[in-house]
Amino acid sequence: MTRFLTTALLSRAAKPLLFLLCLAPLAALVYGAFNNQLGANPAEKLIRELGEWTLRLLWLTLAITPLRELTGLAALARFRRMLGVFSFFYASLHLLAYGWLDQGLDVAAIAADIAKRPFILMGFTAWALMLPLAATSFNRAIRALGAPRWRLLHKAVYAVSVIALLHFIWMRAGKNNFGEPAVYGALLALLLGWRLKSFFMQRPGKL
């Protein structure tokens, strides 16, 4: 079974298939928007769904290493970068949808909202921290930075995940809706806990 899965993960079709799967949520949202299927408040639905898909893809990115170690499927590592880039892609769409649909692309209004509402500030901070990670997600950047510095830079993904979760919790706190944030928080605690275990069981450079 492991050999079969490894062959499938290493096949030429695996990455294009993952690419299409990552685009599927956006396609569904675009279809829903054009066919009036996003509910009574389509702008809010679009903004929130894009935000949640950012979290899901970010969590999947963090899950690659634990899944690889648990299953012995080293080939899973080849999908981590694509998942991370798609997470930034959805985060950027989330920010764009907020700026456009909620603030009318008024830069002054956006800046005032960031200063006034802490959860907006947290979300913007998470996106800003993701920007250099996405910008250095290609092989030439790894060679230019050097592998040690590149790995150090990309450890910022852990801070991004915590800040993104705080953004989500703070946003839902306004309606006393903590069910979904609790699920995301529990999953993140498991993922970060795995990395802490690796840190203490191996040398620090392996975190």
pLDDT tens figures, 61-74: 999 999 998 899 99
Strands (E) in the chain, as ranges, are none
By mean pLDDT, which of 82-91, 93-102, 110-119 is the weakest?
A: 110-119
Q: In this model, does residue 203 exceed pLDDT 80?
A: no
Confidence (pTM): 0.92
Length of the chain: 207
Of 185, 142, 161, nearest in space to 83 by CA: 161
- State the pLDDT confidence band at 179, using cuts at 50, 70 and 90: confident
In this prediction, residue 202 carries a pLDDT of 66
Q: In this model, does residue 172 exceed pLDDT 90?
A: no
